[in-house]
Structure 1
């Protein structure tokens, strides 16, 4: 709507966009100290009719820094050109236009150590949510290979299940492998919130390392976003999402995405050498020879192309409900369905190569969310969520062959034999069904502007039941075992209470307490003291813990100071307790981790002059953790015919002292440059290496192995506006990444000068995006790992080399009044 009088003859014309050149369709433009105001249209353009004169023009949009420009408006048209808003706010949006703060500003102004990533600036890239998260300070994404490979998050020295992941406040745990961070396209999110260490009670998380919260797009406008990308190693990624809210308040959201890759990149590894074939028969003693060939390991490494690593997944997400009603801000029912098929090329070590092993899963997840602020009385807010996930998953490995990296195979056993050593990885056939239910209730009450209270409760239940009928149909009559047929269950409940004090919007303090409860039941192996025979029985473990903490922050004009401390616990996850039926072994005896967490930090966001803005975020932390759950590499079988798996165990005490810093400089709407850096000193402080406390720990005081402790990235971007046409923008982005060497084993053992470590890694990425018609049509070209460097993660599992990708994206938006 335009507030103007007919006699006004000056016309101000302009275009509002973000740092990627995308139009900001919800931006508002006004002249300071006047009633002149207008909104941009669905393409980012605005026209403002005013009296000629000197003005200060202010542009604002939720989630962005407001921009002020001095303008001299004359009779006739006044073209103001491109007005870019920076998506890095840490201040209140000008209240002449909008009352309240942006979502990102609200997150950053909490007393918790948190950073927020704007996902919208990456919509034209091929990134998934995991690789966007990799750009945050203190965060390192670790993968076991290419597209669809297993992924873990390292945050402030904690890794894997120490970090909990949520989508719109709903825990992702149990959502199935078809809906994970490394296969969800970045277009699904509006922003990512990263809470480091101390965690607010509303997440109800037993997380020592922190919480990742993915906030999805909640626009009430009608939008259609469709994209397709093709890249190296025959990689295809496609995504489509549609949002529409009817005048009646009915909201409809539908999204679907697909990922496919051959993952046939080259790797360098040691390899199996098959001996000459032998004729089946008997030896000189008359014993049956079940193997037709022997094998050994080559003393050298060589390059091979991966030949059995195809990954495919498809996921559909639909939500329907009511928004914007007096009795509900949001009431949505959702359904997520997905499926995954992946070939398994290698185990926990690359030298063990598989040629026929596969894994698969299908999942169905119904969900609901109810959200209402000021329910019945002002200040009372209620949020209720629930989801149920049913997943049918398993792996198939019933081959009678061993493979080499060259693709050669040899028969390894007589199928008529009844040996338990079947399959490439000694696992055979695994089929199971699992269900995971989760419910959250959050109630908050704002007593007045200074005082508020909140209570939050999260309940989860997990059940895994082996599919005995499927297993029994194999050619191996000695299956299933007692462990195979036993169900696994766990029940967790986290209750949190919080009091919040705010003093004149300058000082915020949160005091909270949490109660953790965990009950688990699953198979365990025991030994008969008389016969020394092993047997399987059902073991039950119960744990109840109480944690507490405080977080505080103080605001200056351009500076925010933060400090927090917490006594926290982390309950073992279902995967840690029961394994994954593929490459991870469960341990029902795991104890909860316990940690004392301390954080300090500051955030500076200052406009140096109309051309330059600087942003700096620094945090320091200390973690003192007991019963640390460590992932170790264990071998099953002999060195040639065996297999490596992951095994987890409690490892006494570990300390972490670290720092994160992010700095960024913005120059008008032309360029940005920035960097993040993380350094962590993670030390083994356990006096004993066994749970009984009898064996001294020779690694006491040394660094913990297989954890990255120093890494950084630097990036620069340049924007060419109105290139080959008005409203067209070319974005050029370059990123340089560095990860210091990581020792695979404890430094106290062996020769430190040996090469038993993951080497230093330095590599860079480049992206060029051309945006046409103010964001309606987009094309991107990407090259990852320009140097074709050899990149590794967990236990030296090699990741892809240089790769290229092209992405086409169409975006349509219609503002719903």
Structure 2
């Protein structure tokens, strides 16, 4: 009790001092408030109707506002000469040049013309102002426009894979396990949000490589230093998926069919009544046989076995992962199916609420499991399944009660019932042949022995977020954020009443797991004439976990309770020059182990409740150049350099768990001393009118093992000291080109051709310092390309796309020796309807 009382006292003292500091610095801004000038006016279309949701902004600054329901706007600025732009989706932007004196009010009325060439997939970014606003924050962030990919079969994960510094790593085909590598951080170092709400605990039916790209308006990728409004212990960064919040009536429906009997469908409906009641519905489905060819070392049955039992007496393996003795096989037990539906109902556009929505998400997954963490041993009957239910609530209001006060409150409850079935009495080979095992059941052992498993478990995750910000004046603002989450897993192991398995279940099998997290943040923001912006912030992290823990011999012996409390802080600053933005940021960050790392996944990953929080000193510098070269060409360049100095790094390892009879090959996680990352990301893109784009992204990282000792007691030296960390991609790039043929075979029709070339350099599976580099296991260098052709009819109402991925049929790998699909083809049909409301 004394510990928590002391922790609370320190927290209160810290935030009280910070608030006083912020208010002290705000006083000069209060005195200067009367020196501002105002731009006042309205935005309408050529018919005189108010363009609700249109944006009025000054490029190169943070001066921006949205048009109210009556079409009017007010923009408060400091005196000076500016280019002011008004833009709205489906209309041509209009620019004016104005000069304002101290205390002056200038009226500017905009009448926007309909853009005859605008379609959903046009190269001109219709959400430019929102994306530009994100890019112009002091943080190291990139924003991806999702709308330009609505006609593709991409999911959100594969769209993210095109961002600089981001590498999506999958263990197979559709629905396979995936993780994100961002600036050398991987897995749970990166937190994923949807509209600012954490997706942690949402279950396998709602992972990024399931969600169609049509659900998002844009994706924001914050690298390293993270704004406090996310309330995340995201040491590696944050990915925020911003969904479509249109108040227009829209219908977006699509279906695609592709190789390996892959079916994907999606429908999105939006409607807002005049009363302000808003209805939103998103539903999607994914199915695939995933029966692509793989090359692997394998086992064969060498004897007919005992005629009385059918059991074989001998099996043997041939070859190694990359040897000439490996052979090609077709996957035969890897079917994946999931269905998800999301519904929201509530009120929008009221004086007391910009948005107040109640939501419900339902999802289910059925998955055949073809193999474990290695492909050598194949399963023929093992399956996994889950069902999820996620009620949610969001309230959002700007200028609540007083101008400048904004409040956002969210809450969600994520419940998932999941399990796996592995009870067969047969073992399989890659040829599809099977043999009966005598007195044994289960396939999950990677060493040829049986490992029976029939389990059900329930995960529940509750989280709530409160974000309060107050803009004291255009120069000073403060923000407070608090995120609370609680996770619980209650196993319900089912066991066949059979004397063959007297040791099951163990005490750990029936032991519940729980974890509680609280992240609080406070931020002060200073803006000097919208040219120099600086954010100073502090974060407090708390985590308490309870679950099974193993003794020194590896046998799970008792329940353990772990508790940590950490304080982080940081600064982000940016300065604007004509066409150029400079950025720098620094943060002392912590990342608390999540539930999967602490407790495993009951399938392929073992938990480790003794994991310590990762700690990192993060440094970023960068610049963004956005320049019109002439009336036809424009150039965009974003470069960032970064350094990460990380302690207690949580490393993913492949190891054997258990004894020689019941052992199993699984992923495990351990703290690994110190790791440094020195890297650079760059994105460059050239636009030619609304006809063509050519761009590239490139990432290079030097990720070094800086732990001098291999154990905490410092008794054993680390042989990999100062070498690269294994199994982490460090050099990758992609280049893409698009061309648009407008009015192709008819007015209002557009043909879009897109080509993408991808490269990932060779990386070693194990520590670089050990073994013969000529023969040791590695993930090979990969070069492959994708092509798509999209025909857009009737200004985007009807769409048809044809795609080819991995056209070279290259052997692709992300995780150890788990092979991804080869060449594939797909066709997608999409219908889009929109009715614009005033």
Distance in 2, matches of 1:805 and 1:747, equals 39
Match of 2:792 among 771, 778, 784: 771
> For this pair of structures, how many residues does the alignment match?
742
1:230 aligns with 2:257: yes
Equivalent in the alignment of 2:712: 691
Worse-superposed segment, 640-649 or 260-269: 640-649
Match of 1:182 among 209, 212, 215: 209
- Report if the CA contact (8 A) 1:341-1:359 is conserved: yes
Distance in 2, matches of 1:595 and 1:403, equals 45
Change (3 A) 1:59 1:505: closer
Change (3 A) 1:489 1:533: closer
Distance in 1, matches of 2:52 and 2:826, equals 29
Equivalent in the alignment of 1:328: 353
Match of 1:208 among 208, 224, 235: 235
Match of 1:408 among 430, 433, 437: 433
1:635 aligns with 2:670: no
Change (3 A) 1:145 1:61: same
Equivalent in the alignment of 1:714: 735
Equivalent in the alignment of 2:823: 802
1:369 aligns with 2:390: no
> What do residues 732-755 of structure 1 show as CA deviations (whole Å, max 9, x unaligned)?
000000000011111110011225
Match of 2:314 among 287, 291, 294: 294
- Report if the CA contact (8 A) 1:352-1:643 is conserved: no
Distance in 1, matches of 2:474 and 2:116, equals 41
Change (3 A) 1:729 1:747: same
SS at match of 2:117: strand
* Deviation for aligned residue 1:61: 2.6
Distance in 2, matches of 1:544 and 1:766, equals 49
1:343 aligns with 2:364: no
Alignment TM-score, normalising by the size of structure 1: 0.87
Distance in 1, matches of 2:548 and 2:646, equals 28
> What do residues 117-141 of structure 1 show as CA deviations (whole Å, max 9, x unaligned)?
0000000000000000001000000
- Report if the CA contact (8 A) 1:63-1:104 is conserved: no
* Deviation for aligned residue 1:60: 2.7
- Report if the CA contact (8 A) 1:223-1:813 is conserved: yes
Equivalent residues in 2 for 1:96-495 (5 A)?
102-279=129-306, 292-299=312-319, 300-414=325-439, 426-468=451-493, 470-471=494-495, 476-495=501-520
- Report if the CA contact (8 A) 1:472-1:479 is conserved: no
* Deviation for aligned residue 1:492: 0.3
Match of 1:502 among 527, 541, 549: 527
Distance in 2, matches of 1:199 and 1:500, equals 14
> What do residues 749-782 of structure 1 show as CA deviations (whole Å, max 9, x unaligned)?
0011225211110000000000000000000000
Worse-superposed segment, 804-813 or 684-693: 684-693
- Report if the CA contact (8 A) 1:398-1:422 is conserved: no
Change (3 A) 1:88 1:760: same
* Deviation for aligned residue 1:350: 1.1
Distance in 2, matches of 1:759 and 1:579, equals 29
Change (3 A) 1:728 1:3: closer
* Deviation for aligned residue 1:2: 5.5
* Deviation for aligned residue 1:480: 1.8
* Deviation for aligned residue 1:274: 1.4
Distance in 1, matches of 2:349 and 2:600, equals 44
* Deviation for aligned residue 1:86: 5.3
- Report if the CA contact (8 A) 1:425-1:643 is conserved: no
* Deviation for aligned residue 1:4: 8.5
Distance in 2, matches of 1:698 and 1:796, equals 24
Change (3 A) 1:446 1:473: farther
* Deviation for aligned residue 1:277: 2.6
SS at match of 2:159: helix
Distance in 2, matches of 1:708 and 1:422, equals 28
Equivalent in the alignment of 2:769: 748
Unaligned runs of 5+ in 2: 1-43, 57-82, 97-112, 320-324
Unaligned runs of 5+ in 1: 6-23, 30-55, 70-77, 94-100, 282-288
- Report if the CA contact (8 A) 1:431-1:466 is conserved: yes
Equivalent residues in 2 for 1:526-541 (5 A)?
526=551, 534=555, 536-541=557-562
Distance in 2, matches of 1:278 and 1:791, equals 37
- Report if the CA contact (8 A) 2:420-2:455 is conserved: yes
Match of 2:601 among 575, 580, 596: 580
Change (3 A) 1:420 1:563: closer
Match of 2:565 among 544, 550, 565: 544
> What do residues 789-813 of structure 1 show as CA deviations (whole Å, max 9, x unaligned)?
0000111210000000000000000
1:666 aligns with 2:691: no
Equivalent in the alignment of 1:600: 621
Distance in 1, matches of 2:192 and 2:440, equals 45
* Deviation for aligned residue 1:412: 2.4
* Deviation for aligned residue 1:58: 8.4
> What do residues 381-423 of structure 1 show as CA deviations (whole Å, max 9, x unaligned)?
0000000011100111011222111111122231599x99999
Distance in 1, matches of 2:114 and 2:206, equals 46
Change (3 A) 1:547 1:59: closer
> What do residues 679-737 of structure 1 show as CA deviations (whole Å, max 9, x unaligned)?
00000000111233211000000000000000000000011111111000000000000
> What do residues 181-210 of structure 1 show as CA deviations (whole Å, max 9, x unaligned)?
000000000000000000000001101110
Equivalent in the alignment of 1:82: 117
* Deviation for aligned residue 1:536: 1.8
- Report if the CA contact (8 A) 2:484-2:518 is conserved: yes
Match of 1:733 among 754, 768, 772: 754
SS at match of 2:785: strand
